[in-house]
Structure 1
Amino acid sequence: MKKSVFMLLAATVLLTALPAQATKQAQERREARDMRQDTRQDSRDAKQECREGLVGNADCRQDHRDAKQEGRDKARDIKY
């Protein structure tokens, strides 16, 4: 009898803790996704401005890649 009560109690505690963790992870994923999307748009704008200037296209592409990688790194820091 005590064993079944203990198992029921343990299962209840486990089931109530899981949704809170899932919600936290979902929020972290949303924040990370938003960070990456914002970074992509900012990077596109910066690349366009760069191409309108006197800098070569290769340099603009590299700056664009670097900006996107920084955004990925920030998003990864949010998630982990």
Structure 2
Amino acid sequence: MPKLKPLITAAVIAISFLSSSEISFAAQQAQQRQQARDVRQQARPEARQTKQDCRAANQKSNAACRQDKRHTKQDARKTGRDIKY
């Protein structure tokens, strides 16, 4: 029985160390998701402005302006994915 106490103590320490590292990893993932979300949210008004500017310039068709807006949003999504992964 005296030999089991150090083993049990070591097991408890190892388990607590592993669980604390998992918690910090989860917090880091949450922060990355928040940063990616912020990038996408910031891109929305930029995409709207891109389309409005395109329409105001009257240089392209509505479909072409829509594509410009889509490209702006896709770029933001790609940046968000780069942050997360």
- TM-score normalised per structure 1: 0.90
Residue from 39, 44, 51 that aligns with 2:48: 44
Distance across 1 between alignment mates of 2:49 and 2:8: 62
Distance across 1 between alignment mates of 2:14 and 2:63: 60
Uncovered stretches (5+) of structure 2, i.e. residues with no partner: none
Partner of 1:71: 76
Partner of 2:34: 30
| Larger Rg belongs to | 2
Partner of 2:9: 5
Distance across 2 between alignment mates of 1:41 and 1:75: 16
Identity, in percent, stands at 41
Uncovered stretches (5+) of structure 1, i.e. residues with no partner: none
Q: How far has the Cα of 1:52 moved from its partner?
A: 1.4
* Root-mean-square deviation (Å): 1.1
Q: How far has the Cα of 1:48 moved from its partner?
A: 1.1
- Which one-letter code corresponds to 2:13 in the other structure? L
How many pairs were matched up? 80
